[in-house]
A and B are shown apart, each in its own frame.
Chain A
Amino acid sequence: MIFPKIKVLHSHGWQYIPDLNAVELTEEFRGRPILTPTADMTDVEAAAKLCPTKAISTAPFSLDLGKCLFCGECAMCAPRNIRFTNDYKIGSTSRQALVIKPGDEKVEFHPEQVREDIPKLFGKALKLRQVSAAGDASVEMELNASGNVNFDFGRYGVEFVASPRHADGVVITGPISKNMAEALDICYHSIPEPKLVIVCGSEACSGGLFSESKAISREFLERYHVDLWLPGTPTHPMTFIDGVMNLLRLKKR
């Protein structure tokens, strides 16, 4: 019947975000933190002790977003020293750039580290194959959401495909379980050259809560070059979109 459909369409209205460069997230969102050292660092020491993934160092004072699960507990523990902003632009070409130091106003992307052929070959269409290697389904759902009616990343030609043979790169989520290591390897090798690797989510960046687990194998990341590191628990669709747009030189930073 047509009438119920018209009703749905009418209520649905107009949902897509017109400008992906101008998105601001809610105040509550925990993104890039700002670190402020104080003479008395006891609060930071307590926060470092509490931190479930040991993302905080006290000497020198830093916070590794690749390990951070964005629970925000350290900011409760040391409110003078650590404050989370709603800045979702936290992806980088370098794992080292994810370590936030006092005074850092942004996460450095390092465009000079991007291989020349990436924006040239994939700037107008990037097809990605996602592999969940013990991801907890939240990062996966956020990657799905990046292509949904609101974010519509497909407008830039960035899409996920079923076959690695059709893909230009692989997006890895999860800490990489031993049981999934071989399948990930096979998938990577099935993607034609040249290809890129995107690591999505703090668990994928560092192993997260499972970095010490015997069920995890991180060898893949030692063997292959990673082009984009995206922290988050899960990585917000806007973090993914921002990171990939930087990689493809689709935006000015």
Chain B
Amino acid sequence: MKYYTTDNLAAAVALKDIPQVEYAALYEDVKERLKDENCHVAHYFARAEQNELKFYLILLDDKTHTVMITSFAMEYYDDIALPSLTALHPQMHPFEREITELYNVEFDSMPWNKPLRFPFNRSNRNSTMDNYPFYSIEGESLHEVNVGPIHAGIIEPGAFRFICNGENVLHLEIALGYQHRGVEHEFAATSNRLRQTLLSESIAGDSAVTHAVAFAMAVEKLIGNKADNNLDIERCVALELERMAMHIADTGALCTDVGYQLGQVACEALRTVTINTTQAWCGNRFGKGLIRPCGTNKPLTTEKIELIRRNVEDVRRRYNEVKEDIESSPSILARFEQCGLVPKAEMLRIGGVGMASRASGVKRDIRSSHPYAAYASSIEHHTIRQHDGDVMARLMVRCNEVLQSADYILKMLENYTPATIAKPDYTTPLQGESLAIAMVEGWRGEVCHVAITNAEGEIATYKVKDPSLHNWMGLALAVRGEGISDFPINNKSFNLSYCGHDL
């Protein structure tokens, strides 16, 4: 089997250099490769090219730190069913579902052939949000609970259908798509690169920095202009600040849901300090406006560095006290421990990524497996893992990552002297007929952006993958067998993105 092998730092690849194989060969090869836990699918999508439908598959090998790209094609109007890879490796399900939804390609013996996000350009216009084919089980002792799309709190919409046996959840199915805005389509519909940058910042507002860094990296690969060391460091400081803020927010949310008010308010205040630090740096509490292709409008200054260091040190100390408090409170532990288990084997089967996967003992972290920016130079990242795969494990990964992120920020800024950083570049033409992959480990996990340019050097196809695409299935598995009243803490322990999934 032929792959084009590259890594997360390399420049864009010319489309003609990507091998084209037969689906049968690809099927056999992927079938074997995905048995190895070091290997998973980063992206798999189709796009129309002239009169054929071209499929691109991107595999990550964590051991060799490589990214492998291959492709195959079929005639646009061909109606041959392809043997489904989901049937062997459930981690393929969102990708095959998306391809079916957009292009009506049939995957033979696909076990979970359901709509993914009801996009406006779906092939079957009769398939609408209202008639999502929920799974159902007949039984005298069973009942269904429908939640959403509007939830009790101030959060994004999504429909959850529980099948319960008494108080316990037998099965949970999550129907998404309410948040679909047509993000990928908007990327390709404009040649205004600032507009594209802002689109990346709004893919998931809580991961604005992460997605913007991924977009900036993709563009830089297509220009052939690598970010310099200082820009890399400033981006990583912003990424780690975002990670701290969101992990602290979720620690507080978990405390809220078990009625632990002290932890809740302490975390609310700590998150405020963290995001206000980002605001004092760039004018926006979520880091919008900070990350730009090839440069930045908001370089660090001596005063800002001092402010960040002071606040991060303070937050680190106070957050550690909250962590120690949680760990020494039996009534909190009783709610979090052994609740919402996702064993390692299950996590691997569904292709889980990011902090949720690490809580189940899976060593998946782009910062160490496919390093980029400062993680490829000044910071050698040590992946934090837990092994129980329960709510407590997910909380502890968060807690330890907050402390680690604080340490990274302090280390990066220790000897950092502000230097002149280039202004953003919105005009340099992109390399034509090429494909760029950019992966960033956000606080949720692996974000993967793929940009394909046309002959004129404009983005013709832009594919976005938020870690939530993989991990929603993890939440569905976590609540099986749990009391339905434990759903909120399980949900918060994952805190997945609806808009990142629906795009």
Contact = CB atoms under 8 A, between A and B. Distances in A.
Contact of B297 (A1, A73, A203): A73
Nearest to A132: B156
A177 B205 CA distance: 16
A32 B363 CA distance: 46
B179 interface: yes
A137 B262 contact: no
Contacts of A139: 205
Contacts of A11: 266, 317-318, 321
A59 interface: no
Contacts of A130: 154
Given A12-B269, A69-B198, A183-B149, A175 B181 contact: yes
A236 interface: yes
A14 B195 CA distance: 41
A160 B154 CA distance: 8
A12 B318 contact: yes
Contacts of B194: 50, 52, 71, 73
Contacts of A26: 276, 279-280, 283
A149 B325 contact: no
Interface stretch (B79-87, B223-231, B284-292, B346-354): B284-292
A210 interface: yes
Interface string B441-468: 0000000000000000000000000000
A52 B424 CA distance: 15
B152 interface: yes
A79 B325 CA distance: 50
Contacts, number: 205
A87 interface: no
B120, B178, B317 pick with most chain A CB within 10 angstroms: B178
B177 interface: yes
Contacts of A216: 181-182
A178 interface: yes
Contacts of A71: 194, 198, 288-289
Interface in A36-76: 50, 52-53, 69-73, 76
Given A28-B281, A50-B192, A150-B272, A137 B156 contact: yes
A132 B281 CA distance: 28
B96 interface: no
A148 B203 CA distance: 25
A215 B182 CA distance: 6
A42 B272 CA distance: 40
Contacts of B328: 1, 4
Contacts of B179: 132, 134-135, 174, 177, 179-180
Interface in B276-331: 276, 279-286, 288-289, 297, 317-318, 321-322, 324-325, 328-329
B289 A215 contact: no
Contacts of B198: 52, 69, 71, 209
A204 to B, nearest CB: 12
A212 B181 CA distance: 10
A155 to B, nearest CB: 14
B442 to A, nearest CB: 13
Nearest to A7: B321
Interface residues of A, number: 66
A142 interface: yes
B137 interface: no
A169 to B, nearest CB: 14
Contacts of B407: none
Given A52-B198, A134-B180, A210 B186 contact: yes
A209 B202 contact: yes
Interface string B252-286: 00000000001101101100100010011111111
Interface string A181-203: 01100010000000000000001
A54 to B, nearest CB: 10
B149, B156, B205, B286 pick with most chain A CB within 10 angstroms: B205
A133 interface: yes
B202 A136 contact: yes
Contacts of B432: none
A21 interface: no
A93 interface: no
A217 to B, nearest CB: 10
A140 B266 contact: no
B204 A137 contact: yes
A148 B178 contact: no
A243 interface: no
A133 B208 CA distance: 18
Given A26-B279, A52-B195, A138-B286, A133 B157 contact: yes
A233 B178 contact: no
A28 B321 CA distance: 31
A29 interface: yes
A130 B121 CA distance: 28
Given A71-B289, A72-B297, A136-B204, A215 B272 contact: no
Contacts of B282: 28
A90 to B, nearest CB: 14
Interface string B154-166: 1111000000000
Contacts of B502: 134, 177, 179
A8 B321 contact: yes
Interface string B185-209: 1100100101100110011111010
A4 B153 CA distance: 30
Contact of A137 (B325, B426, B497): B497
Contacts of A73: 194, 297
B185 A143 contact: no
B249 A215 contact: no
B266 A12 contact: yes
Nearest to B330: A1
B413 interface: no
Contacts of B262: 5, 8-9, 12
Interface of A: 1, 4-5, 7-9, 11-12, 15, 25-26, 28-30, 50, 52-53, 69-73, 76, 84, 130-145, 148-150, 160, 162, 174-175, 177-180, 182-183, 187, 203, 208-210, 212-216, 233-234, 236
Return the 4 tightest CB-CB contacts between A and B, nearest first. A138-B205, A52-B195, A136-B205, A162-B152
13 contacts: A11-B266, A26-B276, A26-B283, A50-B194, A132-B154, A137-B155, A137-B204, A150-B268, A150-B269, A177-B180, A179-B177, A210-B181, A214-B120
